[in-house]
Structure 1
């Protein structure tokens, strides 16, 4: 968190240690850290209530050890003696071991009084950074902001996109068909690499909401399609499976390694190019472009709750500037009559509808917005709730919450007219 890394990045940077653990211990490690990130606001509030003075910044490691014990006591139903002893075992060396009495006292009190402390808190607001809560209230209203926040407090189900036969694969894997080729497995399914069909490339992991922007391109069979900012490759796979001739572009060589690996496992072919998409241009214009722009990813806190703690409000402006450059350059990559779908997994309007308003104002003679119809997303009646009055896609994490929700996504379809 202090190094502003995602959990996946942190685990990858400690890959040898992590992969040497038993499979069950790896799963518990993820659960431990993810639950701590989901509930960090309440956990810190409870810890502070147990101390006369807050721990200074230089004692951040002490606080982290207490946090790891607290999350087990308050949310994971770990027996108190185990949660306390394993936490204190982490306090090695003279700097930390001298603080064991404080750690022990706080954890013992939390084991006795912690649940009563939690009952007096507002879990929808206390677990979000204040700037993010205020922003969502301003954008969506307090009721919806509360629903969004609450949707982040449970582990998300596992969504897969299958190449074909979704009903058959849903039955094999113990899931249900969400819509189209997307199937959903229960939360707690575990590491997908151990599921049937992974090694054979029958499916890939992709949140249901993330599978929708590609549908806005319509039929892409035999069309030349640019997947801009393509890593890790889920949308590339979706487009290739639909019959498109895909060029996948990303600026990161490291992230493109994932694209190559996924395409190889899925036995799919696409042209993969490392380039800066704010300036790169194809040799021939594309029939269609899917721009899944880099963003704050605040729509993905269900799966990556740590993002709420490592992102800052200033990041949004920086990312919005990058998104604007990408969209302006993509405008010159597509044929007249061709389509651009702009998408972000952000809940912030600066990275969604405000970008489109600015772009259309500047390019009113070159591009037009093409509203999306509900039936383009699938056959289910409830899909209509995912569309704005302008006809853009706007998924919220609280949509279909009782069925597991979905990531927050925004997408707009544009057509080049001149």
Structure 2
């Protein structure tokens, strides 16, 4: 069937579905894309739908404030008109879309419904020259939680960081200088390039010289140092940046993850970089290694609130109950994995979370319950780290030594 909708409407319809998936059903933005864009044929339209939805999530409190300012009666959170207006307004106000293109492709989404209301509110906003603040407003519950944990400066830094997607960070697989790339190095074996850089077109990509990995995500593997042929388990390993780091540092790596599809990406990257690792598809809570190992890296499943720059949906769908449940899972994984370590071996635990319940609290509980382990080093990476160079994801990491 040929649609009579203006060109671009299917992408906007998919963007509304994406918002609905995140805000009403609590689904991750990326995993909802296939279903939301089921009638979108062109890859560029799928990418546009994702970009619109992601930007709306970055700016949601401020978009809703504009909508509420223009309506006599407050629209319900799940009202069709509110969803349509979020998609319509974010395009000219944050993405540079011409207003006529934004509204003409959104109005068909509310045919037979609040079309007049959507058109009226959008037109009033454009005529009045309303704008979004340069620094977005964080969701109130998130700001309150982080303010209590880290203070106002961290909340302010997080708001500044969510204003735009992060730059491109590369980790290098081979020794020696990197290819001739114009960037900033924040650590050995790291290079930062501007956001929007097409990584596959960079010199050295096809030859496997590097992979994409945020500077914070590279820290846990760095805590283990050089491998010198020793055996390390990389638990919850996919998509594999840490596996490749460890292999490049001379470890004999066994990478374990429960996701077969994500491990396939790891296998592809290992092939491209020429690095080696044994890959095992298994649930860490049911799998056991055949013998004790020299080191373990557990990058545990978490709320991922520390990577809100890349995945703004986490700010709208992760609730305290989920954080508590994830922290319990992390503690159980940490306790199970610890028994697989040789005496004198190192155990690194990390999470890309900004919640102290998932990082510091889990590490403290483990240390208190295991006198045979010594906490050697811990690090909390907060919003504001490397901000002058484009920022960094929030992380917690700790290294224990078995006595």
Considering the TM-score relative to the shorter chain, is it more than 0.5? yes
For 1:129-278, what aligned pairs fall within 5 Å after superposition?
130-164=140-174, 167-169=177-179, 171-172=180-181, 174-190=182-198, 192-278=199-285
Give yes or no for contact 1:368–1:416 (8 Å, CA) kept in 2. Answer: yes
Contact 2:382 2:395 in 1 (8 A): yes
> CA-to-partner distance for each residue in 1:52-97, whole Å, 9 max, x for gaps?
123336633x322211111012212322222211221333xxxx43
With the length of structure 1 as denominator, give the TM-score of the two structures.
0.85
| Residue 66 (1) aligns with residue 85 (2) | yes
- Matched residues in 2 for 1:58 and 1:311: separation? 18
Deviation at 1:367, TM superposition (A): 0.3
Q: Which residue does the alignment assign to 2:42?
A: 20
Higher helix share: 1
Q: Distance in 2 between matches of 1:160 and 1:11?
A: 26
Query: How far is 1:241 from its partner?
Result: 1.1
Distance 2:37 2:255 in 1: 27
Whether the 8 Å contact between 1:251 and 1:276 is mirrored in structure 2 is: yes
1:288 and 1:141 map into 2 onto residues whose CA distance is 35
Q: Distance in 1 between matches of 2:129 and 2:176?
A: 44
Judged with a 3 Å threshold, the aligned counterparts in structure 2 of structure 1 residues 314 and 113 are, in CA distance, closer, same or farther, namely farther
Q: Is the 8 A contact 1:159 1:182 kept in 2?
A: yes
Residue in structure 2 matched with residue 383 of structure 1 by the alignment: none
Q: Deviations for 1:21-58, whole angstroms, at most 9, x for unmatched residues?
A: 34xx5554443222211111100111111111233366
| Aligned partners of 1:226 and 1:249 also within 8 Å | yes
1:38 to 58, 61, 86: 58
Name the counterpart of 1:388: none
CA contact (8 A) 1:178 1:184 kept: yes
For residue 106 of structure 1, give the secondary structure of its aligned residue in structure 2.
helix
The 5-angstrom pairing of residues 35-114 of structure 1 reads 35-56=55-76, 59-60=79-80, 62-91=81-110, 96-113=111-128
When the two structures are aligned, how many residues end up with a matched partner? 381
For structure 1, the 5+ residue unaligned runs are 372-391
Q: Is the 8 A contact 1:160 1:182 kept in 2?
A: yes
1:337 to 336, 340, 344: 344
- How far does the alpha carbon of each residue in 1:167-202 deviate from its partner, in whole angstroms, 9 at most, with x for none? 533x33x32222111111112225x34444334322
TM-score normalized by the length of structure 2: 0.88
Matched residues in 1 for 2:53 and 2:34: separation? 15
Q: Which residue of 1 aligns with 2:16?
A: none
Q: What SS does the aligned partner of 2:109 have?
A: coil
Q: Counterparts of 2:185 and 2:164 in 1: how far apart (Å)?
A: 21
Which one of the candidate residues 5, 21, 29 is aligned to 1:7?
A: 29
Equivalent residue number for residue 382 of structure 1: none
Gaps of 5+ in 2: 1-21
After superposition, the C-alpha distances for 1:146-186 in whole angstroms (9 at most, x for unaligned) are 222221112210111121367533x33x3222211111111
Which residue pairs with 2:400 in the alignment? 414
The alignment partner of 1:283 has SS state of coil
Q: Does 1:369 align with 2:391?
A: no
Distance 1:89 1:186 in 2: 37
RMSD: 2.2
More displaced 10-residue stretch of structure 1: 268-277 or 338-347:
268-277
After superposition, the Cα gap between the structure-2 partners of 1:3 and 1:58, relative to the gap in structure 1 and judged at 3 Å, is: closer
Q: Distance in 2 between matches of 1:109 and 1:261?
A: 51
- Asked whether the 8 Å contact 2:33–2:50 carries over to 1, the reply is no
The correspondence for 1:127, drawn from 138, 146, 152, is: 138
